[in-house]
Chains A and B, each alone.
Chain A
């Protein structure tokens, strides 16, 4: 099939960008979306042109490196699917697709479809961990964890940090990402000692990175390739509010 692509091309962070039209005339339905871009890029290289830059690595939907917006939807039209796992059989001959990078103040464009998501690393650095230096752990079975809690924690921990939630949100909020990490650790007994402090610090860092606030639109949940639920944002709010109150109470 023939696919027409309009791709955001931007030389670097400081240059203006624009949409450029490309045609890929021989797309096979078994190709992944990124394989289609590989084919396009190989042609561009052989013609001596600069290929389209995009982040990608595992191509199994787990590393979280890839992601861009296809026709207005982060990771494209298939639910629960990263763009590397999106296959061309979901498109048809003659489709015109518009590819853009994540758009958010906190995710500046580096080049073409590639953005800088280091703000996520800084949010984790602010408190997204349990302070347990190597060697200081008790026996694994010394800390029983009820199965349902472990399962809920795992649901939240599945986040791959791709940033689609931010790209989908009209406020460019990172609350699904931050809420998922706060929930994962707050649901487990190991996470209790630092629970309040964690919520305060991670939320503060999130705000410092110029992410917006949540207004309960739930676009983030709709595009999340790992089905992270917005109930994690509610858990984050609960921890944040109770920690704020308790901190004030002293």
Chain B
């Protein structure tokens, strides 16, 4: 066994690579497409857009999601916007600038060719979404409006109020439902993928559990796409939806798909702080708030006075102080770490001491309450609903939280994993954001993969590899083995009959991950986590309690399976974080920082993608490296001062 990494980046100048690749790829003629079947797991921006587009081309598509409807995928929760290098504002934007900003924002740990293509395709995405009827914000003349986002000096973000993700997802969902009506896509809601079927080294299907009846089913196809989102819920508390999980990509990893950069996880600086042990998730407050809000903490540690009683000279506007040129709009990783530092110094605010103020009083004085209400009204309401405090009168309290995972399954330029026939799209793959993602780039990547990349690259795979020439039957031993494996895991979970709920273990896991593999990491802590995690895993398999049985709707059983996978993934993240002995982007190793606490990269030794290969339970996975070459954007020290 074992795999070799070949990114298959086309040769030639970067601006011609995607055209060249598209020309060189093989095509499936329209009449032959109906002879092929494709499975798409996940129905968010990447999966929904991919399934719809493949259906439009004439392939037979089966699309799976764990929610009751594809319209509920977590892409829906994205607030701020989607980037595109349209240069509609005439402010000097270009494909190259979006490419440059994204590579720099990712702290030089992404693949140049992929990012360039992403920037190119961004133009088509906006056109497509407008044509679908996505109600983007408009100027009075009827043209599209833009705003700016962190890490960029141009206005290239398109938005639909604070619900951009929702509107883009509904656009993809409607295109998908159109294909469902035409019989090109068969939709399987309330189905969870529990294993990948690999036959003769190729991905040929999946095993799912029908979440209503508990029935295990094998679905076979000529290619499989995983678009199952990120694994931020490994921290238990995150801004992800409760159902977001790593199971699909984790079980594919165990079947031979390489897992790239698992330690690259983004912590978003502006979330509502934790209020108690019962807390089930964290809520993001859009980054756009930092355009007008000022972030501060008291200068004195342990200052418990209400914020309005703390005089101006006793406040520390630390982002403005440390990063005078970017100020409150410093990138996410930088802002998050700064918040953690001031809280660690005992200057945090709120009941738990884990919070900083985001204060709008200056902006309200300067612009008037009306303007602030127009800009952020819905976010202020949401804040008040959750905290019971009125942010027009008292400053918001915010704290960083797990939000997005840049790591994911390794894919080549054509979005194919190390298992031929297994494609990975959207947040589930590792491809475009390096060590840190810029705001408004996740929606862009999901739709790029789904609408404009997979439809070509899957055709190329089908036309050149001809998986249909080796038909796989449901009686094949590989199919039986996968079904048995899934049934076995389920049986074990039900048989433990311990004393704690799956959530109990998930919370314990979250505490370990947040403490040792969260916003900042160090060797001793990671080693400690690597001791604690196997212990917790062992306890889980001895003490978890799952009432009921498999042959019924059993949400505890669903949860238990996901937590079991998160427990294993946590170990791989810590291992990767330990191995990556440098600081870059969101991965901050305390051993590698400047005197002022900024990240110090080690390009000499770590300018690579770390790709892990599963070697069996309890065995150390094998590390492979894909070297990163920077021909167009020379790595420099990222400075936002």
Residue B548 lies at the interface, judged by CB distance under 8 Å to chain A = yes
B553→A147 contact, CB < 8 A: no
Given A65-B68, A154-B135, is A30 in contact with B175 using a C-beta cutoff of 8 Å? Answer: no
Assess the B547–A137 pair: CB atoms within 8 A.
no
Which residue, A41, A44, A85, A135, has most C-beta atoms of chain B within 10 A? Answer: A135
Q: Indicate whether A39 reaches chain B with its CB closer than 8 angstroms.
A: yes
Q: Does B5 contact A (CB under 8 A)?
A: no
Which residue from B70, B175, B281 sits with its C-beta under 8 Å from A129?
Answer: B175
Query: Across the interface, do B166 and A62 meet the contact criterion of CB distance under 8 Å?
Result: yes
Q: Whole-angstrom distance between the alpha carbons of A62 and B281 in the complex? A: 14
Q: Chain B residues near A63 (CB, 8 Å)?
A: 67, 72, 74, 76-77, 241
Does residue B486 face the partner (Cβ distance < 8 Å to A)?
no
Stretch at the interface among A111-119, A209-217, A234-242: A111-119
Contact A125 B177 (CB under 8 A): yes
Q: Which residues of A contact B140 (CB under 8 A)?
A: 147
Does A87 contact B173, Cβ atoms closer than 8 Å? Answer: no
- Out of B126, B166, B167, B455, name the residue touching A140 (CB < 8 Å): B126
Q: By the criterion CB–CB under 8 Å, are B135 and A153 in contact?
A: yes
Count B-side interface residues using an 8 Å CB cutoff. 84
Judging by beta carbons under 8 Å apart, are B128 and A53 in contact? Answer: no
Q: Which of A94-102, A164-172, A184-192 contacts B (4 or more CB under 8 A)?
A: A184-192
Contacts of A53 in B (CB 8 A): 553, 555
Q: Which of A60, A120, A134 has the most CB of B within 10 A?
A: A134
> Bound state CA distance, A150 and B167, in angstroms?
13
In the complex, the answer to whether A130 meets B500 with C-beta atoms within 8 Å is no
Within 8 A of B (CB), among A27-75: 28-32, 34-36, 38-39, 41-42, 44-46, 48-51, 53, 55-65
**A49 vs B86: C-alpha distance when bound (angstroms):** 56
Which of A58, A121, A134, A154 has a CB less than 8 Å from the CB of B177? A121
Q: Is the CB of B278 within 8 A of A46?
A: no
A143 at interface, CB cutoff 8 A:
yes
Interface segment among B97-105, B314-322, B380-388, B477-485: the answer is B380-388
Contact of B69 among A118, A131, A150 (CB under 8 A): A118
Q: Does B11 contact A (CB under 8 A)?
A: no
- Complex: chain A residue closest to B455, CB-CB: A134
A145 at the interface (CB under 8 A from B): yes
| Cβ proximity bits A7-40 to B, threshold 8 Å, 1 near / 0 not | 0000110000000000000001111101110110
Complex CA gap A220/B542 in Å reads: 49
Query: When each residue 531-555 of chain B gets 1 if its CB lies under 8 Å from chain A and 0 otherwise, what string results?
Result: 0000000000000011110001101
Binary interface encoding of chain B residues 124-150 relative to chain A, with 1 for a CB under 8 A from any of its CBs, else 0: 101111111101111111111000000
For B593, the chain A residues whose CB sits under 8 A away are: none
Interface assignment of A4: CB less than 8 Å from any CB of chain B: no
Q: Enumerate A193-247 residues with CB–CB distance to B below 8 Å.
A: none
B174 within 8 A of A: yes
Say yes or no for B280: interface residue by CB 8 A criterion: yes
A87 and B68 contact, CB distance less than 8 A: no
In Å, the complex CA distance between A26 and B173 comes to 41
Task: Report yes or no: B175 in contact with A34, Cβ–Cβ below 8 A.
Answer: no
Residue of B nearest to A117 (CB): B68
- Residues of chain A within 8 A of B552, CB atoms compared: 11-12
Query: Chain A's nearest CB lies how many Å from the CB of B67?
Result: 6
- Which listed residue (A35, A116, A147) contacts B139, Cβ 8 A? A147
Of A58, A81, A129, A144, which is within 8 A of B77 by CB? A58
Contact, CB under 8 Å: B133 / A188: yes
- Of A36, A130, A160, which contacts B133 at CB under 8 A? A130
Is A128 located at the chain interface by the 8 A CB criterion? Answer: yes
Question: B172-185: contact bitstring with A at CB < 8 Å (1 yes, 0 no)?
Answer: 01110110110000
- In the bound complex, do residue A190 and residue B133 qualify as a contact, i.e. CB atoms below 8 Å apart? yes
Determine how close the nearest CB of chain A comes to the CB of B641; give it in whole angstroms: 34
How far apart are the CA atoms of A56 and B67 in the complex, in Å? 9
Q: Does chain B have a CB within 8 A of A89?
A: yes
Task: Please name all residues of chain B whose beta carbon is closer than 8 Å to the beta carbon of A45 when the two chains form the complex.
Answer: 501, 545-547, 556
Q: Which residues of B contact A145 (CB under 8 A)?
A: 135, 138, 142
CB pair B143–A141 under 8 Å, yes or no, is: yes
CB distance from A154 to the nearest CB of B (A): 4
CB proximity of A80 to chain B, nearest CB, Å: 8
Question: A42–B503 contact, CB under 8 A?
Answer: yes
B18 located at the interface, meaning its Cβ lies under 8 Å from any Cβ of chain A in the complex: no
Interface: B161 (CB within 8 A): yes
Partner of A134, one of B128, B189, B382, B504: B128
What's the minimum C-beta distance from A76 to chain B, rounded to whole angstroms?
12
Q: How many A-B residue pairs have CB under 8 A?
A: 223
Q: Is B499 in the interface zone, CB < 8 Å from A?
A: yes
Q: Which residues of A contact B212 (CB under 8 A)?
A: 110
Q: Cβ of B547 and Cβ of A132 under 8 Å apart?
A: no
**Is B142 touching A146 in the complex (CB atoms < 8 A)?**
yes
The A interface, classified by DSSP as helix, strand, loop or mixed, is loop
A121-B187, A129-B174 are contacts. A49–B133 as well, Cβ < 8 Å? no
Q: Which of B52, B166, B174, B243 contacts A124 (CB 8 A)?
A: B174
Distance in angstroms between the alpha carbons of A34 and B241 in the assembled complex? 13
Question: Separation in Å of the B544 CB from the closest CB of chain A?
Answer: 10
> In the complex, what residues of B have CB within 8 A of residue A132's CB?
128, 131-132, 175
Instruction: Give Cα A243 to B275, complex, Å.
Output: 53
Complex CA–CA separation, A138 to B67 (angstroms) = 33
Chain A residues contacting B497 (CB-CB under 8 Å) are 48
**By the criterion CB–CB under 8 Å, are A129 and B132 in contact?**
yes
CA distance in complex: A57, B124 (Å): 31
Pair A48/B133 contact, Cβ less than 8 Å: no
B72 engages A114 (CB within 8 Å): no
Q: Cα distance A188–B131 when bound, in Å? A: 10
Is B154 close to A, CB under 8 A? Answer: no
With A65-B67, A110-B553, A188-B135 already in contact, the answer to whether A31 and B128 are too (CB < 8 A) is no
- Chain B nearest Cβ from A27, distance in angstroms: 9
Q: With an 8 A cutoff between CB atoms, is B160 at the interface?
A: yes
**Minimum CB distance partner of B385 in chain A:** A85
Chain A residues within an 8 Å CB radius of B68: 55, 65, 116-118
A250 close to chain B: CB less than 8 A: no
**CB–CB B174/A134 < 8 A:** no
The reply on A161 being an interface residue by CB < 8 A is: yes
Asked if A57 contacts B547 (CB within 8 A), the reply is no
Q: Among the listed A62, A85, A110, A143, which residue makes an inter-chain contact with B130, where contact means beta carbons less than 8 Å apart?
A: A143
Contact with B280, one of A32, A62, A191 (Cβ below 8 angstroms): A32
Q: What is the bound-complex CA distance between A143 and B132, given in angstroms?
A: 12
CA distance A161 to B278 in the complex (A): 28
Closest Cβ of chain B: how far from A134's Cβ, in Å? 4
Asked if B640 lies at the interface with its beta carbon under 8 angstroms from chain A, I say: no
The answer to the question of B3 belonging to the interface, with a C-beta cut-off of 8 Å to chain A, is no
Please determine whether A190 and B280 come into contact, CB atoms closer than 8 angstroms.
Answer: no
Contact with A along B69-81 (1 / 0, CB 8 A): 1111010110000
Query: Are A87 and B139 touching (Cβ within 8 A)?
Result: no
Is B300 positioned at the interface, with any CB of A under 8 Å from its CB? no
- Give Cα A190 to B143, complex, Å: 14
Q: Is A35 touching B279 in the complex (CB atoms < 8 A)?
A: yes
Interface residues of A (CB under 8 A from B): 11-12, 28-32, 34-36, 38-39, 41-42, 44-46, 48-51, 53, 55-65, 78, 80-81, 85, 87, 89, 110-111, 114, 116-118, 120-121, 124-126, 128-141, 143-147, 150-151, 153-154, 157-158, 160-161, 184-185, 188, 190-191
Given contacts A31-B276, A61-B382, A118-B69, 15 further A-B contacts (CB under 8 A): A28-B275, A30-B276, A35-B280, A50-B548, A56-B242, A59-B281, A63-B72, A63-B76, A63-B77, A120-B69, A132-B132, A134-B455, A140-B86, A143-B131, A154-B167
Which 5 residue pairs across A and B have the least CB separation, nearest first? A144-B142, A137-B131, A129-B174, A137-B127, A125-B181
The contact sample of 22 A-B pairs, CB cut-off 8 A, is A30-B276, A30-B388, A38-B278, A38-B280, A39-B278, A45-B546, A46-B501, A46-B545, A48-B547, A50-B547, A58-B242, A59-B242, A63-B77, A117-B68, A121-B187, A124-B174, A134-B49, A134-B452, A140-B86, A147-B140, A157-B135, A157-B170
